[in-house]
Chain A
Amino acid sequence: MTERFSFKAEDVGDVKQEAMSWADRKLIKNEDGKPSFPKKFARRGPNSRESAPDPFPETLPIGDASLARHDAGASNFDPTQMRSNLTKKRAEITKMNFEARLTQTARAEILNKEEGGFLETDDDAFTRNISQRQIVDSVDMASASKHFDLHLEQFGPYKIDYTDNGRHLLIGGKRGHIAAFDWHTKHLHTENNVMEAVRDVKFLHTHNMMAVSQKNYTYIYDNVGTELHCLKNFHQVLQLEFLSKHFLLVGGGRNSFLRYLDVSVGQLVTEFPTRQGPLDVMCQNPTNAIIHTGHSDGTVSLWSPNSKEPLVRMLTHNGIVRGLAVDNTGHYMVSTGGEGKCKIWDLRMYKQIAAYRMPSLIGRVAISDTRTVACAVGNTVQTFKDMHLGLTREPYLVHRCAGVVSDLRFVPFEDVLGVGHSAGFTSLLIPGSGQANVDLMRANPYETSKQRKEREVKQLLEKIPCEMITLDPDDIARVDTETLERKEDERKKSLLLGNRPPIKFTPRHRMKGRGSALNKERRRETVTQMKRRGRNDEIKQIENEYLTDEPREKPKKAKQDDATPSQHVLDRFRVKS
């Protein structure tokens, strides 16, 4: 006989649910309706004991402006777009995490210790009347040492370059003199005369390697002056640029060739003629690694190594383009022209924002972290503030150099402008032109040699392949719907235009006496007819879609009152029925 047992689970006492199960986790909303971390998961600080009361119980409010500054899309994230309840809950938690990170980052602004530079005159006098001597006498000793003059009259107009962290300076004179030194401590790395014309100099990813474009070829030197490489491909290069995230050395040549060399593996990526004349005005856009070149017909072209044709061509000036610069955010481009204009362009819409009339001797231009523009006009350097807002009426600061100015560069993270001219090199103090708070994860002006080595290795590991250089670097995160649509469109259009390849179908050859010719023919006929019918149906559908004149949605006819029909001139001829 089978016994019956009743199995009832008995509760052993009251079991409290301590841990929040994942499925039960609910958003805890504050009084103002904003979600916050559940208190259970809040970090415990030193004042978490009940005995010590918190002297500042209210949380400090965060301004909406600073929240908006750090918002990289957290507010656009919409959990209600998710399809299932489970993913919706997960998305809500993700959004909560994003917003918590947003508030923490906005609060961390208080950690920025440094403040930017400024220059204020008494009695509303013009700042352009203040000389460098006056500024240097008024600032502290460390800043005063940042202003210095190198009198090198023999070796011709100098081209200059700073490393990405603004610590090391490289100068190259036209008559062959090259020197690399740490301009903070004035410690000289190497000084050499290459006995040839030097057209341009450029640091590579560290101050240990420099590229020098000489009379015929481009050479790469070490920090002690050893010649490492001779780049025979880079023939008569007038301008050099280095794309640091891609390890690409770009040379614009006298024969209008643009050459890209991958310095990490030492291979020429691409070279092509731009057919716009010698490329002596060139700059890179630091946000998307696109090369901007200015030509003698007043146009500026934007180049990427993936296409032989320019991505964008802008008509900027009536005369030749003398100088180009793009700011750090990639939003503004400054260009100077031979007709004596300095223009600011919006690079998102490729439209002009402002144009300023300048002396026609205007040459090169540079733009700083805080969008201070420096223009070279003959022997003088004129700096301007807020050109991109259209408010500039007079220069900010002016300085006369000992020779004709040949190169201008702002030092990143410092209020310093480096000027290379025909009598040597000058370093000028321009208060308010540099970004005060430096993020050491991006660029470290105080890096030790060990840190530099680690950075080099990490940079090499994260080297972006050159195929990814496009106008919008965020394209990689988007779905490529355009290509799919374009392919579909092209296929449909080719069908419409009569591109109908003959349908070939071979039926399976059956063995062992089962493959009769008659059945084979029958099968071939039926299948080809079926396919042909399918294709004709598709063509008819495409024709309806593309070729009919009728609008797809017929507009609803307005309801007419029977008492007052619409009247027409010819109504009296209508047959009354």
Chain B
Amino acid sequence: MKVKVISRNPDDYQRETNADIHKLVRNYNVDKDPFQTQTEYVRAMNATKLERVFAKPFVASLDGHQEGVNVLANHPFRSSTIISGARDGQIKIWDLPRKTCISTIQAHRGLINGLSVDQSQGTQMVTVGSDSQIKIWRVPITGEEDGLDEPVHSIPLDEVAHSVSHIANSVEFVTSGDTVNVWRPQRDSPIRTYNLGVSTIHCARANPVEEAVIVGLTLDRSIFVLDTRQKTPLKKVTMKLRPNMVTWNPMEPFMFSVANDDYNAYTFDMRYLQQPTKVHQGHTMAVIDVAYSPTGREIVTGSFDRTMRIFGTESASSREVFHTKRMQHVLSVLYSADDKFVLSGSNEMNIRVWKSNPAEKLGPKTKREDAALKYAQKLRQQYKEHPEIRRIQRHRHVPSSVHNQANELRVIRSSKQKKEERRIIHNNAKPQRPNHMVDEPAEQDE
């Protein structure tokens, strides 16, 4: 007779000393746990709720300006440096990790219209103000250097320059006013001028990758894309309401986003300007500023309705909305260079720093912690279509004025849509795609 009974050696399953880790003997041959899906669903629900519990986006408020902050800029190489310009002509350079101001410079007598840091070396920055001057400054590193208060070079202009932007990998910069001008730092007159018609160009941005492409916004509600290798602009399209700000996608340099007065932000493809590729809806008042994340996957918009929203580039609805009772109209927004923070400069002289992923744990994480957080993130992503989980994940608190205004806008939109549906039924017409642009014949400018 041969007999064998299961006989396990407990030493194979138990640790030898208290200093060892526990042994984990696995059997991958066993059937799948029958409650695995349900357990995962419960875990996903817990992960979603915990994410909302830990969602505390506000980090810090940078105090010091004496007027509304309407320009914010990054340093291209030093991610800890932020430069802000206010409406009284003062610019401040901040050390973001220490939340202190390195240096303050009274740059202009009047509004700061634009601010840009040199892309190739990062040692100089250019500001334009409503006192019709272009000034070039040294970027301070510690703040204790001499001669920071005096500009390196100052150029008086005949017209007011409305924006400035450095060309990719170059010390040259582009300003816009009545015309688009390209400047070299040492020169007193522009090396190139583009005359695009009668309307003022209130915003011009050079492509961060392609040195020859510039996008601009004119006061007659149109967007143009200009190629400096050619004489005439590539394309010009007109929107229904005025676009306020334009930014290039740093990762996909043929895409740009536009913040518009009609409560939306639009993402365009430079090659197909007839219709926007994406309409980002969510704000309840005019969108004043838009900025791209360094990953190119997300944009942050600041609006007149005292909130800031973060949208994915591919999504029409916002992922996050940031607001505080103390924050009034958001005049400028910025994404930090490490994609972790979002900055908002507002009407009441404060710059606020927020976490772009509110529930994220900053700082060093142990391996197990990191693995657990990644698992929770994956669970939320996997189960995000289930109704209960989706409801909790999407819910954000907004101020009651924004909430009521959003309801009103929803009613307005739905009534327009109903009217359109009835018109189609009544006239047996074909449904049309919503048109965000004004159809105009192509203009030829000299």
Chain A residues whose CB sits within 8 angstroms of the CB of B442 once the complex forms: none
Chain B proximity of A467: nearest CB distance (Å): 11
Q: Does A299 contact B (CB under 8 A)?
A: no
Most buried by A among B26, B191, B192: B26
Expressed in whole angstroms, the Cα–Cα distance for A434 and B6 within the complex equals: 8
Chain B proximity of A378: nearest CB distance (Å): 26
B3 interface neighbour in A138, A330, A451, Cβ under 8 Å = A138
Expressed in whole angstroms, the Cα–Cα distance for A143 and B42 within the complex equals: 40
Q: Which positions 424-480 of chain A face chain B at CB distance < 8 Å?
A: 429, 431, 434-442, 444-446, 448, 451, 461-465, 468, 473-474, 476-477
Q: Which positions 1-52 of chain B face chain A at CB distance < 8 Å?
A: 1-8, 10, 12-14, 22-35, 37-39, 41-43, 46
Q: Which positions 459-506 of chain A face chain B at CB distance < 8 Å?
A: 461-465, 468, 473-474, 476-477
Q: Is the CB of B30 within 8 A of A477?
A: no
Chain B proximity of A208: nearest CB distance (Å): 20
Expressed in whole angstroms, the Cα–Cα distance for A465 and B41 within the complex equals: 10
Q: Does B131 contact A (CB under 8 A)?
A: no
Q: Is the CB of B30 within 8 A of A437?
A: yes
Q: Is the CB of A139 within 8 A of B5?
A: yes
Chain B residues whose CB sits within 8 angstroms of the CB of A515 once the complex forms: none
Q: How many residues of A contact B (CB 8 A)?
A: 70
Beyond A330-B34, A415-B6, A445-B13, 19 extra complex contacts between A and B, CB < 8 Å: A2-B192, A3-B191, A6-B229, A105-B28, A115-B4, A117-B4, A119-B1, A143-B5, A143-B6, A329-B31, A438-B27, A439-B26, A439-B30, A440-B13, A448-B14, A451-B22, A464-B35, A473-B35, A474-B37
Chain A proximity of B180: nearest CB distance (Å): 12
Most buried by A among B31, B43, B192: B31
Q: Please, could you name 14 A-B residue pairs with CB atoms under 8 Å apart, sorted by A? A: A7-B212, A69-B29, A70-B28, A112-B28, A112-B29, A118-B3, A328-B31, A414-B6, A437-B25, A439-B30, A440-B23, A462-B42, A462-B43, A473-B34
- The bracket for how many chain B residues form the interface is 35 or more
- The interface bits of chain A over 323-344 (1 if a CB of B lies within 8 angstroms of the residue's CB, else 0) are 0000011100000000000000
Expressed in whole angstroms, the Cα–Cα distance for A445 and B39 within the complex equals: 22
Chain B residues whose CB sits within 8 angstroms of the CB of A9 once the complex forms: 211
Chain A residues whose CB sits within 8 angstroms of the CB of B211 once the complex forms: 7, 9
Q: Does A111 contact B (CB under 8 A)?
A: yes
Expressed in whole angstroms, the Cα–Cα distance for A437 and B29 within the complex equals: 9
Q: Does B123 contact A (CB under 8 A)?
A: no
Chain B proximity of A11: nearest CB distance (Å): 14
Chain B residues whose CB sits within 8 angstroms of the CB of A111 once the complex forms: 26, 28
Chain A proximity of B444: nearest CB distance (Å): 19
Q: Is the CB of A119 within 8 A of B6?
A: no
Expressed in whole angstroms, the Cα–Cα distance for A3 and B182 within the complex equals: 11
Q: Does A571 contact B (CB under 8 A)?
A: no
Q: Which positions 1-51 of chain A face chain B at CB distance < 8 Å?
A: 2-3, 5-7, 9
Q: Does B228 contact A (CB under 8 A)?
A: yes
B8 interface neighbour in A5, A114, A119, Cβ under 8 Å = A114
Main secondary structure of the interface of A (DSSP, over half): loop
B4 interface neighbour in A5, A118, A288, Cβ under 8 Å = A118
Q: Is the CB of A438 within 8 A of B25?
A: yes
Chain A proximity of B157: nearest CB distance (Å): 17
Q: Does B130 contact A (CB under 8 A)?
A: no
- The interface bits of chain A over 135-150 (1 if a CB of B lies within 8 angstroms of the residue's CB, else 0) are 1001110110010000
Q: Is the CB of B4 within 8 A of A431?
A: yes
Expressed in whole angstroms, the Cα–Cα distance for A122 and B1 within the complex equals: 5
Q: Is the CB of A120 within 8 A of B28?
A: no
Q: Is the CB of A476 within 8 A of B30?
A: no
Q: Does B74 contact A (CB under 8 A)?
A: no
Q: Does A130 contact B (CB under 8 A)?
A: yes
Chain B proximity of A387: nearest CB distance (Å): 19
Expressed in whole angstroms, the Cα–Cα distance for A173 and B396 within the complex equals: 58
Expressed in whole angstroms, the Cα–Cα distance for A211 and B83 within the complex equals: 68
Q: Does A109 contact B (CB under 8 A)?
A: yes
Chain A residues whose CB sits within 8 angstroms of the CB of B274 once the complex forms: none
Q: Is the CB of B1 within 8 A of A134?
A: yes
Q: Is the CB of A446 within 8 A of B6?
A: no
Q: Does A413 contact B (CB under 8 A)?
A: yes
Q: Is the CB of A462 within 8 A of B39?
A: yes
A114 interface neighbour in B3, B6, B35, Cβ under 8 Å = B6
Q: Does A245 contact B (CB under 8 A)?
A: yes
Q: Is the CB of B4 within 8 A of A139?
A: yes
- CB-nearest residue of chain A to B30: A439
- CB-nearest residue of chain A to B25: A440
Q: Does A392 contact B (CB under 8 A)?
A: no
Q: Does A79 contact B (CB under 8 A)?
A: no
Chain B proximity of A245: nearest CB distance (Å): 5
Q: Does A121 contact B (CB under 8 A)?
A: yes
Q: Does B357 contact A (CB under 8 A)?
A: no
B28 interface neighbour in A109, A440, A474, A477, Cβ under 8 Å = A109
Q: Is the CB of B1 within 8 A of A120?
A: yes
Chain A residues whose CB sits within 8 angstroms of the CB of B32 once the complex forms: 72
Chain B residues whose CB sits within 8 angstroms of the CB of A120 once the complex forms: 1-3
Q: Does A113 contact B (CB under 8 A)?
A: yes
Q: Does B275 contact A (CB under 8 A)?
A: no
Q: Is the CB of B6 within 8 A of A461?
A: no
- The interface bits of chain B over 200-215 (1 if a CB of A lies within 8 angstroms of the residue's CB, else 0) are 0000000000011000
Expressed in whole angstroms, the Cα–Cα distance for A288 and B220 within the complex equals: 66
Chain B residues whose CB sits within 8 angstroms of the CB of A446 once the complex forms: 10, 13-14
Q: Does B193 contact A (CB under 8 A)?
A: yes
Chain B residues whose CB sits within 8 angstroms of the CB of A113 once the complex forms: 12
Chain A proximity of B251: nearest CB distance (Å): 12
Expressed in whole angstroms, the Cα–Cα distance for A307 and B46 within the complex equals: 26
Q: Does A286 contact B (CB under 8 A)?
A: yes
Chain B proximity of A114: nearest CB distance (Å): 6
Chain A residues whose CB sits within 8 angstroms of the CB of B1 once the complex forms: 119-122, 130, 134, 138
Q: Is the CB of A441 within 8 A of B24?
A: yes
Q: Is the CB of A286 within 8 A of B34?
A: yes
Expressed in whole angstroms, the Cα–Cα distance for A464 and B39 within the complex equals: 6
Contact A439 to B42, CB < 8 A, known contacts A146-B5, A288-B34, A431-B4: no
B39 interface neighbour in A5, A6, A122, A245, Cβ under 8 Å = A245
Q: Is the CB of B42 within 8 A of A465?
A: yes
Chain A residues whose CB sits within 8 angstroms of the CB of B27 once the complex forms: 112, 437-439
A-B pairs with the 8 shortest C-beta distances? A287-B34, A439-B27, A437-B27, A143-B5, A120-B2, A446-B13, A117-B5, A415-B5
Expressed in whole angstroms, the Cα–Cα distance for A462 and B46 within the complex equals: 8
A413 interface neighbour in B6, B10, B228, Cβ under 8 Å = B6
Q: Which positions 207-237 of chain B face chain A at CB distance < 8 Å?
A: 211-212, 228-229
Chain A proximity of B383: nearest CB distance (Å): 9
Q: Does A390 contact B (CB under 8 A)?
A: no
Expressed in whole angstroms, the Cα–Cα distance for A161 and B386 within the complex equals: 38
Chain A proximity of B166: nearest CB distance (Å): 15
Q: Which positions 89-112 of chain B face chain A at CB distance < 8 Å?
A: none
Chain B residues whose CB sits within 8 angstroms of the CB of A441 once the complex forms: 24, 26
Q: Which positions 281-312 of chain B face chain A at CB distance < 8 Å?
A: none
Q: Is the CB of B34 within 8 A of A2?
A: no
Most buried by A among B4, B5, B37, B38: B5
Q: Does A266 contact B (CB under 8 A)?
A: no
Expressed in whole angstroms, the Cα–Cα distance for A142 and B28 within the complex equals: 27
Q: Does A116 contact B (CB under 8 A)?
A: yes
Chain A proximity of B124: nearest CB distance (Å): 21
Chain B residues whose CB sits within 8 angstroms of the CB of A330 once the complex forms: 34
Chain B residues whose CB sits within 8 angstroms of the CB of A138 once the complex forms: 1, 3
- CB-nearest residue of chain A to B227: A7
Q: Does A108 contact B (CB under 8 A)?
A: yes
Q: Is the CB of B33 within 8 A of A442?
A: yes
Q: Is the CB of A429 within 8 A of B5?
A: yes
Most buried by A among B23, B28, B32: B28
Q: Is the CB of B7 within 8 A of A142?
A: yes
Contact A464 to B42, CB < 8 A, known contacts A6-B229, A139-B3: yes
Expressed in whole angstroms, the Cα–Cα distance for A114 and B24 within the complex equals: 15
Q: Is the CB of A476 within 8 A of B6?
A: no
Q: Which positions 83-119 of chain A face chain B at CB distance < 8 Å?
A: 105, 108-109, 111-119
